[in-house]
Amino acid sequence: MSPDGRIALVTGAGRGIGRAIAVKLSAEGLRVAMTARSAHELEATAAMCAGPTLTVPADITEATSTEAIFGVVEQAWGAVEVLVANAGAGFASRIERTSDGDWQRMLDLNLTAPFRCVRRAVPAMRRSRFGRIVVIASNAARIGEPYIAAYAASKHGVLGLVRSAAAELAADGVTVNAVCPGYVDTSMTDHTVDSIVAASGRSAEQARAELARKQPINRLITPDEVAEAVWFCVLSGGMSGQGITVDGGAVQA
Ligand SMILES: NC(=O)c1ccc[n+]([C@@H]2O[C@H](COP(=O)([O-])OP(=O)(O)OC[C@H]3O[C@@H](n4cnc5c(N)ncnc54)[C@H](OP(=O)(O)O)[C@@H]3O)[C@@H](O)[C@H]2O)c1
């Protein structure tokens, strides 16, 4: 595809992986609309972008926000051609201490919000017979680990959404893929480090080294490495329904 001027929407673009994706897509010539709750973080991301940007602050878990976000992009530029559903968060707890509210928060943010974005993006993509949808899942979409039942369930679920949507849209020129990172050097992993310190009494350095060792390359994944995989998904018209692991070789899928 020729990327120049294509219209992208990146959710959760205020920091971390979403910021790296927005900067990468902009550097490759796309117009990049971005959303997250924090307006000032979005502005900081936009300032790092090379081309036209649109910042749309919103809470993606609110039922009306999907329509509002897509409406702003369509009014300014036109229909979204490249959707990157990245906004998400983690949660760690023993199963018996996971409340209904904890469970629902994970599903709302990591599963229902991407579903609503995909559902909203698809009609225009079908009409134009072109679209790229990339969901940032996790290697927790492929394997379970202790203490992350709600997070892993939401990420396994979103991989099911990706695979089903890919099958449904294959003949329409729309590809749907997931990128499944291991532990990435972002504020989300900083929170995980804090939780390990609080629960185990280990030092922050020990906790971070422990998370680094989860990747056979013995370090955290960088946000740019995830953004490169997203870009690969955007470029390829022949790859769909895949979960691309970017985890230093931990999950050999
Ligand atoms: N970090 C990792 O190790 C890792 C590993 C595998 C997968 N992932 C996945 O990668 C994605 C990005 O993670 P990250 O590490 O970059 O996290 P992060 O640094 O915490 O960034 C998350 C982004 O999502 C936005 N967001 C969170 N809740 C939102 C809501 N309700 N409405 C709108 N935006 C919201 C945040 O902005 P606001 O808070 O301002 O809304 C922020 O821009 C997530 O889906 C995560 O599950 C991360």
Structural domains of the chain in order of their starting residue, each with its CATH number: 7-182+223-245 (3.40.50.720), 183-220 (no CATH)
What single-letter DSSP state applies at residue 171? G
**Burial state string for 238-249 with b = 16 or more CB within 10 A and e = fewer than 16:** eebbbbbbbbbe
- For the chain, the residue count is 253
Task: From the candidates 147, 151, 183, 214, give the one annotated as an active-site residue.
Answer: 151
The β-bridge relationship of strands 53-55 and 82-85 is unpaired
Cβ–Cβ < 8 Å for 139, 245:
yes
pLDDT in tens, 177-214: 999 999 999 999 999 999 999 989 999 999 999 999 99
Neighbouring-strand partners of residue 243: 178
Rounded to the nearest whole angstrom, what is the distance from the C-alpha of residue 75 to the centroid of ligand 1? 26
- Residue 230, amino acid: V
Residues in contact with ligand 1 by the CB-under-6-Å rule are: 12-18, 36-38, 41, 59-61, 86-90, 109, 136, 138, 181, 183-184, 186-189
CA 21, chain centre distance (Å): 9
The closest-lying atom of ligand 1 relative to the alpha carbon of residue 226 is 10
Residue 37 phi, psi dihedral angles, 5° rounding: -75, -35
Q: 161 CA to middle of ligand 1, Å? A: 19
Residue 87 falls in which region: left (phi positive, over 0), alpha (psi -120 to 50) or beta = beta
| 3 state DSSP class of 93 | coil
pLDDT at 4: 87
pLDDT for the residue 101: 98
Confidence class for position 253, pLDDT limits 50, 70, 90 = confident
pLDDT, tens only, 130-179:
999 999 999 999 999 999 999 999 999 999 999 999 999 999 999 999 99
Q: What pLDDT digit, counting tens, does each position of 91-145 carry?
A: 999 999 999 999 999 999 999 999 999 999 999 999 999 999 999 999 999 999 9
Rounded CA-CA distance 69/230 in Å is 21
Rounded CA separation 154/108 (Å): 9
| C-alpha of 246 from chain center | 13
Quote the tokens at residue 202: 């280990």
Give the C-alpha separation, 203 to 63, whole Å. 40
Helices within 96-251 (DSSP H only): 100-107, 113-128, 149-169, 187-200, 204-213, 223-235
Pocket test for ligand 1, best of 24, 43, 105, 186 (most atoms within 8 A of CB): 186
Higher pLDDT pick, 233 / 2:
233
Q: Which atom of ligand 1 is nearest to the CA of 90?
A: 47
Helix (H, G, I), strand (E, B) or coil at 220: coil
